[in-house]
Chain A
Amino acid sequence: MDDGLKSELTKQGIYVVKLEQLYNWGRSNSVWPLGFGLACCAIEMIAASMARFDLSRFGAEVFRPSPRQADLMIVAGTVTKKMAPQVVRLYNQMPEPKYVIAMGACAISGGPFKQGYNVLKGIDRYIPVDVHIPGCPPRPEALIHAFMTLQRKIDAQKVFGPDRARHFDASQPSEFPIPLYGEHDLVPAKNPNVWEPPVVVR
């Protein structure tokens, strides 16, 4: 629509927006995280929701205890192989649209504990991750920055068209297979549909 017409209508008190913008505006300003802290990063996540750094001004005050009521899973801390099936199960239980923030070096790639037999080298081996926050632990300000990045990502999601968001596309999966406890390792070690090791040219 012509910008001049838009500003004329605005002066009269009539606002013209696309359905996408309204839909995304409502969703991005009230993202409810799942109360799910694994390790040290969880303490910084709690500190980010406390009085000094205050995550609730972004709409994320209510940390839901149940995954059925949450939009966002902040994987804060090291994901071990013993815990990985539970993380994937919780992700599957969340209703669409859902997002994942991998907080801290451990959730991104195993972090300082990379050489551990029980450490999963990154939660993005099994579930798709939207925002990665580096740090060990990342400061609460970094978590707020990640929140704002996620909000911008949600604002840019489309409702119609070939590149529409995942939850509008019936062919995209919203639940991912849960790994099983094997005798020496998890079975399968990674989900090839979600994660392939990036090719590094040396």
Chain B
Amino acid sequence: METLEQIKTRAERVVPGAQLTIIKNDSPSAQHSLLVAVEHAFAVAKFLRDDPALRLDYCSNVSGVDFLDAELSEKVKVKKVVDGVEKEVEEVRKTKRAGYLEVVYHLYSMSLKHGPVILRQRTGNRSDTVAVMSLTPLWRSAEFQEREVFDLYGIHFYGHPDLRRILMWDGFKDHPMRKDYQEPDDYEYEPTPHDDVCDKTKAHYPKQEVKA
């Protein structure tokens, strides 16, 4: 199979206006991924599926990921004047990164037996722009998995034939897999509490006076 850079170049040629970004993966698995903008996601995915060299006809896995607002710090070597001498000093630079939600698709090919090609779509932020393109019209296997991402993360999929909750009941209001979800407090009885569960339990009992 061709490398990710070659796929990126060909996809940008086929789909006008598409700007794909390669997200590097530092782990030994070396599974790098392609980030595509929401407007071009469907066209790029169609190219990946129908191109005769790639023929990625099998969408194996669709997952949602939640990234909260974070402060990224990186160590940067900066030339500074210290005591009259110009030296290279390591400085910690902090950048604020707004939170977003992500949908990750793992694509394989059953006809040519290669893969994976990993495709990612990102939402604008975590509160109001939470919609991405649904790839269910291209790969039917995404149907239930995108419903699950909608149920647990709250990401809306344009073009999904039947977008409703799949694992939680219909009247449920929250999106439980988000990092800032507050779960209901039913920890009244904990026979062997540990760590933070112990604190949740203690809140249910009145404070007991310690006898001297």
Contacts and interface: CB of A to CB of B under 8 A. Distances in A.
Interface of A: 82, 109, 114-115, 117-118, 121, 181-185, 189-190, 197-202
Contacts, number: 44
Contact of A185 (B186, B187, B189, B208): B186
A198 B172 CA distance: 30
Nearest to A183: B173
B189 A109 contact: yes
Contacts of B205: 199-200
Given A181-B169, A183-B171, A117 B189 contact: no
A185 B184 contact: yes
Given A115-B197, A117-B181, A197-B204, A181 B186 contact: no
B168 interface: yes
Of A82, A117, A183, A199, the most chain B CB neighbours within 10 A belong to: A117
B186 A121 contact: yes
19 contacts: A82-B168, A109-B191, A117-B181, A121-B187, A121-B189, A181-B170, A181-B171, A183-B171, A183-B172, A183-B173, A184-B172, A184-B173, A185-B186, A189-B184, A197-B189, A198-B189, A199-B205, A200-B189, A201-B208
B176 interface: yes
Contacts of A121: 186-187, 189
Nearest to B170: A181
Contacts of A114: 197
A117 B188 contact: no
Contacts of A201: 208
A67 B85 CA distance: 87
A181 B189 contact: no
Contacts of B186: 121, 185, 189-190
Contacts of A184: 172-174, 184
B183 interface: yes
Contacts of B191: 109, 200
A20 B168 CA distance: 47
B204 A181 contact: no
Interface in B146-182: 167-174, 176, 181
A202 B183 CA distance: 26
A154 B197 CA distance: 38
A114 B198 CA distance: 13
